[in-house]
């Protein structure tokens, strides 16, 4: 996943809301989000190359999301899969704080990453790059994350934050279609506003939109998670073909236990 928005403890009717896009090579095999056969309380997609996932929700009240930290010069091949950081938390029982601190202690086992783990509204952010020097407890607020540190003001990050801040309804009705429309924003940033992350300028342009379309790499799916104060809500995922056309959508109404952190 390459961009995510998190509204935490702000909206009175939807205190937990996540909207995210996963960007990946089209040839990399993955399963659509669904309850996992070996852990039916977990709803998440699955990367079939390494077995982990990029975002998921446990009906026990746990949730997690991951983005890669873009630094091509530091990429290694002798490391563990970052996707296990999400799947291990969803299936485990460590608190969000304990898990974030444990991950930080062994962060050099992975290529660059950003990880947010939560139990209800108890959420922690951790990464393994210079911009994250220790795990951080997230206070109520709205956050956005791409392939740099949390809330780095890349044009796509600020555009997603501003558009979703305006798109989330004031009332109890949750307009999933409007949120999906925002996640499908393909506007690229101007060259003078692009970050410099070590990839060619043409690639920076391609990666500068919220929704990415190209023959070999692009947005593979969009995911929405929304929970009300009683833990009732929705896990929704839409998958796309290489042309960016929606090909599959699943909505999973859910009731989540809030034993680990109140909503």
Q: What are the structural domains, with CATH classification, of the chain?
A: 3-255 (3.60.60.10)
| Cα dihedral across residues 48, 27, 80, 6: positive or negative | negative
Residue 258, C-beta contacts closer than 8 angstroms, at least 6 positions apart: 61, 120, 230, 231
The whole-model pTM stands at: 0.96
| Cα dihedral across residues 127, 131, 133, 134: positive or negative | negative
Question: What is the number of residues in the chain?
Answer: 263
pLDDT at 261: 55
pLDDT at 258: 67
The per-residue b/e assignment along 150-179, b for 16 or more CB within 10 angstroms, e otherwise, is bbeebbbbebbbebbeebbeeeeebeeeeb
pLDDT at 74: 93
* 105: phi then psi, degrees, rounded to nearest 5: -70, -20
- Mean pLDDT, consecutive 10-residue stretches, the chain (263 aa), reads 93 95 97 96 96 96 97 94 98 97 97 97 97 96 97 97 88 87 98 96 97 98 96 97 97 84 62
Which stretch of DSSP H or E encloses residue 179? Answer: helix 176-183
Looking at residue 189, the DSSP 8-state letter turns out to be: P
Cβ of 190: how many Cβ atoms within 10 Å? 9
What is d(CA 253, CA 91) in angstroms, rounded to the nearest whole number?
Answer: 20
Residue 147's nearest CA partner among 118, 114, 125, 116 is: 114
Structure tokens at 146: 């791409």
Structure tokens at 1: 């996943």
DSSP code string of 102-126: HHHHTGGGBSSEEEEEEETTEEEEE
Name the 3-class secondary structure at 85. Answer: helix
Bridge partners (DSSP) listed for residue 119: 62, 122
Helix axes of 176-183 and 155-167: crossing angle, nearest 10 degrees: 170
């Amino acid at each position: 996943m390459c961009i995510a928005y998190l509204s935490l403890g702000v909206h009175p009717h939807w205190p937990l809301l996540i909207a995210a896009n996963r960007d990946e090579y089209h040839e990399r095999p993955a399963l659509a989000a669904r309850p996992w056969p070996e852990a039916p309380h977990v709803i998440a997609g699955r990367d079939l190359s390494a077995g982990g996932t990029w975002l998921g929700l446990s009906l026990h009240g746990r949730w997690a999301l991951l983005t890669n930290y873009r630094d091509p010069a530091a990429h290694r091949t002798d490391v563990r899969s970052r996707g296990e950081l999400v799947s291990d938390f969803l299936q485990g029982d460590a608190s969000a704080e304990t898990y974030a601190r444990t991950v930080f202690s062994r962060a050099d086992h992975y290529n660059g990453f950003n990880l947010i783990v939560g139990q209800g509204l108890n959420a922690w952010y951790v990464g393994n790059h210079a911009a994250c020097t220790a795990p951080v407890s997230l206070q109520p607020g709205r956050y956005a994350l791409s392939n740099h540190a949390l809330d780095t003001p890349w044009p796509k990050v600020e555009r997603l934050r501003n558009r979703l801040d305006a798109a989330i309804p004031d009332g109890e009705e949750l307009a999933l279609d409007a949120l999906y429309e925002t996640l499908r924003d393909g506007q690229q940033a101007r060259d003078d506003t692009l970050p410099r992350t070590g990839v060619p300028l043409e690639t920076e342009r391609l990666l500068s939109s919220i929704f990415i379309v190209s023959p070999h790499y692009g947005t593979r799916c969009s995911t929405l998670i929304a929970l009300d104060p009683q833990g009732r809500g929705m896990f929704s995922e839409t998958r796309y073909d290489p042309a960016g056309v929606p090909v599959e959508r699943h909505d999973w109404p859910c009731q989540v236990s809030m034993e680990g952190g109140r909503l």
